[in-house]
Amino acid sequence: MLSKWVFINKAAIINRFLNLRYLALINLLNTLANQLSLLPTETTVKPFLRWAGGKKWLIKNLRQFLPAKFNNYHEPFLGGGSIFFYLNPSKNVYLSDLNNDLIETYIQIRDDVEGVIKLINKFGSTEQDYYEIRSHNFSKSQKKAAQFIYLNMYSYNGIYRVNSNGGYNVPFGFRKNISLDENNLRLASQRLKKTNLIPQDFGISLERVKKGDLVFIDPPYTVAHENNGFIAYNQKLFSLEDQEKLASWLNELKDRGAYYILTNAKHDAILKIYEDQKPIEITRASTIGGKNAVRGLISEYIFTNIKQVY
Ligand SMILES: C[S@@+](CC[C@H](N)C(=O)[O-])C[C@H]1O[C@@H](n2cnc3c(N)ncnc32)[C@H](O)[C@@H]1O
């Protein structure tokens, strides 16, 4: 009788011990899984284009502006797409820009990255090669995309500038140690897979923003920082009227219950146009003007309707 009792209890103790270990193991696995989901599980993808007004510098400041969660993501002034690549939003993504060649390039990278890589690798790297490749008016989208990325890599300062006929006219850059980051292009292609890429004016892009969506708005800076100069990024200048139209869109986005983050130059003219907005000033280091670069601090404005977390 006694030995049976000992046996049952021994079994119960072993059972309980195993259960506890089992539970401990489950707990440990759960904790690990939770911790893993808190870590940035995504690989870093860098913008694959050099782009005037690129917002890579904003990334380290961005977290404080982001809403805890959001639905669809919109970037109506895509350019080099630094914020999109950083955020890697999980729901529907709408990326647009008025620059048709730029959006076509993204589409080709999304749909046939290997084909584009192959073509770029066929291009030579001398000054003569550059002007030869620049002179082509390719009709196939894939070749156009390869040419676009190649010129962006080899041109002076990576500027996008076209003449009155729409021909790219930026001179050779004499840059050293240029190489195509194929892996990053492949990662960018993955990240673009489910995105909607549309060449269009911001006014049309913003129409599709709905409640709970996040919009990152990075227009060309119409005014130069802290002086009265004008800047043209594109063949079509982003005018003060465009800025006014954009400013009125912010109230519309707020009324729709969407979140927005807009960047702009720190300038009195901007404060006047965006008079309903409370500016948040961000200062960053800047380099202006290629070879004869001037280094200094520059301030920009952020306008957002998202409460700051920190
Ligand atoms: C400052 S850049 C965007 C830079 C981008 N955020 C980045 O990190 O690289 C502004 C972009 O707005 C585009 N753009 C100019 N006028 C536009 C318009 N009316 N509608 C949509 N995009 C426009 C330009 O082609 C340019 O790519």
Q: pLDDT for 197-250, tens place per residue?
A: 999 999 999 999 999 999 999 999 876 665 555 554 444 578 888 999 999 999
Kindly indicate the confidence band of residue 26, based on its pLDDT and cuts at 50, 70 and 90.
very low
Measure CA of the first residue to CA of the last residue in the chain; give whole Å: 68
* Structure tokens given for 272: 């006047």
Instruction: Give pLDDT, residue 63.
Output: 84
Residue 34 has pLDDT above 80, yes or no: no
103 pocket-lining for ligand 1 (C-beta < 6 Å): no
Percent of the chain's residues with pLDDT above 70: 78
Q: Hey, what amino acid is at 45?
A: V
Q: What is the pTM of this model?
A: 0.83
Tell the residue nearest (CA) to atom 7 of ligand 1: 54
Q: Give pLDDT, residue 29.
A: 43
Helix axes 100-122, 182-192, angle to 10 degrees: 140
Q: How confident is the model at residue 309 (pLDDT cuts 50, 70, 90)?
A: low
Least confident of 4-18, 25-39, 48-62, 111-125: 25-39
Q: How confident is the model at residue 85 (pLDDT cuts 50, 70, 90)?
A: very high
CB 219 within 8 A of CB 265: no
pLDDT for residue 36: 43
Q: How many Å apart are CA 187 and CA 185, to the nearest integer?
A: 5
Q: What is the mean pLDDT of the chain?
A: 84
pLDDT of 65 higher than 70: yes
Q: What is the distance in A from the centroid of ligand 1 to the CA of 76?
A: 7
- pLDDT given at position 88: 93
Q: Is 99 in the pocket of ligand 1 (CB under 6 A)?
A: yes
220 lines ligand 1 (CB under 6 A): yes
Judged against a pLDDT cut of 70, whether residue 30 lies above it is answered with no
Q: How confident is the model over 121-139, as a mean pLDDT?
A: 97
Q: Which helix (H) or strand (E) holds 62?
A: helix 59-62
Residue whose CA is closest, atom 8 of ligand 1?
Answer: 54
User: Nearest Cα to 27, choosing from 17, 19, 38, 16?
Assistant: 19
Is residue 54 within 8 A of residue 47, CB to CB? The reply is yes
Cβ of 48 below 6 Å from ligand 1: no
**Buried residues in 41-50 as b, exposed as e (16+ CB within 10 A):** eeeebebbbb
Q: What are phi and psi of 254, to 5 degrees?
A: -65, -45
pLDDT bucket at 39, cuts 50 / 70 / 90: very low
Which residues contact residue 22 at a Cβ distance below 8 angstroms, ignoring those fewer than 6 apart?
Answer: none
Which of these, 201, 259, 215, 202, lies nearest to 84 by C-alpha position?
215
Per-position b or e across 253-278, b if 16+ CB within 10 A of its CB: beeeebbbbbbbbbbeebeebbeebe
